[in-house]
Amino acid sequence: MNEKDWLIIRTVYQHKNITRAAGHLYTSQPALSYRLRQIERKLAIKLFDDGGKGLVFSAQGEYLASHAEKILRDLQQLKINLHTLNEQQQGELRIGVSSNYAAYRLPELLARFRQQYPGVSLHLISGYSEEIFHRLQRDEIDLALVKDDFNWKEGKQLIDEDNYYLISQHEVDFGLLPHLPQIKIHHGPHITQLIERWWNANFVLAPRVAMTVDKLEVCLAMVNHGLGYAIISSYLPLPETLYRLPISVDGQAVKNKTWLLYRHACDHAPMVLPFITMLNERALWAEKD
């Protein structure tokens, strides 16, 4: 079935008359009747009931006609989206992203995207993953790059993984960690729970938090100067001079995962698909490296 076939089915169903439908389609009645027989033969169905007064669609014909409007509408939207992509000068993309990913991974990706689609207007919001996810639920953004999949029922992909490490200026006695000063990064609830799960699997006492900071660079600077140990993910290359220990629970490495969440129906935001393609390409480059 091509687009013309669906248009024929819709038009005949609307008019319930071959002659009027033929006039609407700018064709002859014999040509239209022949085309209808071809559709019946191709699908091995009967479009019309015999013996009825006037043109009466069969159950199969009714079912086919019920899909014609949607299929034609989807084809039209597809043409619009493809035209927009080809233009590369229209549209916008609203992205919500967790703060650390925005700082350390996203700029290079956005620069590449902007180079390929210079006319697309990019709108970026960064913050805690939970806040970004709520924005996606409220349709305030087109896609989210966050630290949990939040049991999202629509489109989602795991696009990045980083290990968590305990880092210190010098090697530490693991058993003494509850008594040593910890430099804590202020994470969102999901990451905090991951780290607390690891801590509770190893220690009875609570950590002795000496400093709380909100930036990875600040945390690294404090550790570099011997002011305490920290538990961080490998967003940035860690200095070779630092002691590091991968952390795990039940033999499984604790991972900092980044998820891409988006809606399946993204007709209103056609630039979502090119952006997803670019993220997938980045993942392939990372694997090769």
As its CATH architecture, domain 92-160+257-288 has 3-Layer(aba) Sandwich (3.40)
Average pLDDT over residues 49-55: 75
156 close to 261: Cβ distance less than 8 angstroms: yes
Residue extents of the structural domains in the chain: 3-87, 92-160+257-288, 162-256
pLDDT at 5 over 80: yes
Summarised one tens digit per residue, pLDDT across range 11-26 is 888 888 888 888 888 8
As its CATH architecture, domain 162-256 has 3-Layer(aba) Sandwich (3.40)
pLDDT at 239 over 90: no
Summarised one tens digit per residue, pLDDT across range 117-131 is 888 889 999 988 899
CATH class of 3-87: mainly alpha
Average pLDDT over residues 148-153: 90
Judge if 3-87 and 92-160+257-288 fold alike in CATH terms. no
pLDDT bin (cut points 50, 70, 90) of residue 254 is: confident
Q: Where are the alpha helices (DSSP H) in 118-202?
A: 129-137, 189-202
Residue with the bigger pLDDT between 241 and 116: it is 241
Residue-level pLDDT at 80:
64
Burial class (CB in 10 A: 0-12, 13-18, 19+), 257: middle
The pTM of the full predicted model, rounded to 2 decimals, is: 0.61
Residue-level pLDDT at 22:
86
163 close to 256: Cβ distance less than 8 angstroms: yes
Residue-level pLDDT at 284:
54
pLDDT at 261 over 60: yes
Q: How many Å separate Cα 28 from the centre of its chain?
A: 49
Ramachandran region, residue 4 (left: φ > 0; alpha: ψ -120 to 50; beta: rest): alpha
141 close to 96: Cβ distance less than 8 angstroms: yes
